[in-house]
A and B are shown apart, each in its own frame.
Chain A
Amino acid sequence: MSGSLGRAAAALLCWGHSAGGGLWGPGVRAASSGGSGSSEHLDMLVKKDRVVVFLKGPPEQPQCGFSNTVVQILRLHSIRDYAVYNVLDDPQLQQGIKAYSNWPTIPQVYLNSEFVGGCDILLQMHQNGDLVEELKKLGIRSTLLDEKKDQDSK
């Protein structure tokens, strides 16, 4: 089972304070009010950016171990330019995205407007090299691809 990263991440939920002011990378888009859970709105959100994630909590302080795992995986690949939506800020968004994706849980990851899955799937894709490949197809070069070639550079 690939639960160990999740368990370590869950332990990090004891953070008392946020890791620092401001955003460190991904642009947190504020979900607009009114119809934020509608399929038209969500359609627009998942198409607007190549990498879109829906999390519980902001990326600098996820409120859930699984959401944190997604954030850490993206950070490992040095993906900085991605859209992130905090469902805890907006109950309509939280319900809406579950219906839209037909997926019962958060976090949710979209690549190139397509639903990829939740934390489990992203983790498996990360571990088996599929994530690096999918990102490459989107024109995003994961730093893990470079590290594989450059193992002595540290």
Chain B
Amino acid sequence: MELSAEYLREKLQRDLEAEHMEVEDTTPNRCASSFRVLVVSAKFEGKPLLQRHRLVNSCLAEELLHIHAFEQKTLTPEQWTREQQK
């Protein structure tokens, strides 16, 4: 399986109906396959942080077996708007 930022982006976008998504391949900074993602999705609304992260984790359950390091930031559309206004 080709683990690219593009692949992760598409999968997360599809499964989480993301309004906004950023996937960064941070592999050069670490010793092995690593990614950092920002996901903005209405599906996160009303969910505490841990639940949001678990949603992302289960979307990428298979991929995470091959990823060494994974950072994620999960925001609702409202939080994302607020953050952009800062």
Contact = CB atoms under 8 A, between A and B. Distances in A.
A129 to B, nearest CB: 13
Contacts, number: 45
Tell me whether chain B's interface is mostly helix, strand or loop, or mixed: mixed
Contacts of A102: 54
A3 B34 CA distance: 13
B75 to A, nearest CB: 11
A81 interface: no
B72 A120 contact: yes
B44 to A, nearest CB: 13
Interface residues of B, number: 20
Contact of B38 (A1, A7, A10): A1
A67 to B, nearest CB: 11
A6 B67 CA distance: 17
Interface residues of A, number: 22
B50 interface: yes
23 contacts: A1-B22, A1-B38, A1-B73, A2-B73, A3-B26, A3-B36, A10-B29, A10-B30, A65-B30, A66-B69, A104-B64, A104-B70, A105-B64, A116-B50, A117-B49, A117-B50, A118-B53, A120-B71, A120-B73, A121-B49, A121-B50, A124-B49, A125-B49
Given A105-B69, A121-B50, 20 more contacts: A1-B22, A1-B71, A1-B73, A2-B73, A7-B29, A10-B29, A64-B69, A65-B30, A66-B69, A66-B71, A103-B57, A104-B65, A104-B70, A117-B50, A117-B53, A118-B53, A120-B53, A120-B71, A121-B53, A124-B49
